[in-house]
Amino acid sequence: MKFSTEELIEGIRSGNKRLIAKAITLVESKKAEHRTQAEELLKEIMPFTGNSIRIGITGVPGAGKSTFIENFGRLAIANGKKVAVLAIDPSSSINKGSILGDKTRMEELAKEENAFIRPSPSSGFLGGVANTTFETMMICEAAGYDYILIETVGVGQSEVLVADITDVFLFLKIIGGGDELQGIKRGIMEMVDLIFINKVDQDNLQKAKNTRLELKRALDFIPPKEKGWKIPVLLGSAFYNKGLDEVYSTIDEFIDLKNKTGSFNEIRTRQAEKRFEYWVQEYILAMMKRSDSVETAYIQHKKNASEMVSNPSTEAKLFVEKFLTKD
């Protein structure tokens, strides 16, 4: 990294987008020397983090997530806020490059001085890049962004990851996509705080209302995630900018409620604990693999596991016990 930690911090604090991007690239790196600098940087910016509203947006491919983010982001900016957009994209290593970059550039939002758009890491975390969206978010907060909007890409795993680092989880639904397909499974519904039925116009308004009714009935069977919060189902159009102001004010209400009950901080505490656990595993493995004999053993045990010489859990235990002895 040709920039010093001080230069990067100065850049972040002064809102220099080029240096913000450099800092993000640094925390995304798994190289040992980069990790050392990344931790230095994260330590220094810590006092300036925590002040944003973190929003996760999910929905099937084509539901309108990027379109929603573009227009919702512009609405927030019109309200005097600064907006950062991130994406979690476990499939990007397969698709070569980010979906945000390829499909929807969020051209209008990208023009805004008070917007920062970061496409997903160039190779998905499943391919070995660390899962660093949380750390990226810290950098954006230190740079003064008030709203962090995170688009999930790909179904399943990325949703859990996003729900684990956000304050609000928004589900974008389109009419007639088939409930199963759209994740109306208990799993997803239990993560959701707010539902927006998208692509609603005069022609399908009645259908949208019926869908809302069905959703509300389904939600009655799901234990509330947040005490005192009945998951709102809103209708509108991300593309034609309809109903987004209602989403905006509903999110405000939700955050107010969470602050009143104390769950806002409680949940963030638990999320930070999870991040700690994640990084303990990352660092233990990284440090162990620094030695050649450990690396060799790791490869051997992994091979044994993959060839089913013995159970993967057995191989994992054998590997760890070789280097970490009990007291």
Ligand X SMILES: Nc1nc2c(ncn2[C@@H]2O[C@H](COP(=O)(O)OP(=O)(O)OP(=O)(O)O)[C@@H](O)[C@H]2O)c(=O)[nH]1
**Entry field: residues in the chain:** 327
Residue 172, phi then psi, degrees to nearest 5: -95, 125
Answer for which of 25, 104, 157, 263 binds ligand X (CB under 6 A) is 104
- Asked if residue 173 binds ligand X (CB under 6 A), the reply is no
* CA–CA separation, 319 and 135 (whole Å): 30
Q: Which stretch binds ligand X (CB under 6 A): 63-71, 72-80, 286-294, 305-313?
A: 63-71
Q: List the one residue out of 43, 55, 105 whose CA is nearest residue 84.
A: 55
173 vs 301, beta carbon nearer ligand X: 173
Would you tell me how many other CB atoms lie within 10 Å of the CB of residue 171? 25
3-state percent helix, strand, coil for the chain, nearest multiple of 5:
55, 10, 35
- Which does residue 67 touch among ligand X, Mg ion, none (CB within 5 to 8 A, set by kind)? ligand X
- Asked if residue 85 binds ligand X (CB under 6 A), the reply is no
- Asked if residue 243 binds ligand X (CB under 6 A), the reply is no
Q: How far is CA 44 from the centre of its chain?
A: 23
Extract the tokens encoding 299.
């490869």
- Asked if residue 29 binds Mg ion (CB under 5 A), the reply is no
Q: DSSP 3-state assignment of 91? A: coil
- Asked if residue 199 binds ligand X (CB under 6 A), the reply is yes
Beta strands in 13-146 (DSSP E): 53-58, 83-88, 115-117
- Which does residue 35 touch among ligand X, Mg ion, none (CB within 5 to 8 A, set by kind)? none
Alpha helices in 107-222 (DSSP H): 107-111, 133-142, 157-163, 186-189, 205-219
- Which does residue 199 touch among ligand X, Mg ion, none (CB within 5 to 8 A, set by kind)? ligand X
Q: Which stretch binds ligand X (CB under 6 A): 124-132, 207-215, 234-242, 295-303?
A: 234-242
- Asked if residue 5 binds Mg ion (CB under 5 A), the reply is no
- Asked if residue 66 binds Mg ion (CB under 5 A), the reply is yes
- Asked if residue 158 binds Mg ion (CB under 5 A), the reply is no
Interaction site with Mg ion (CB under 5 A): 65-66
Interaction site with ligand X (CB under 6 A): 59, 61-67, 99, 103-104, 153, 198-199, 237-240
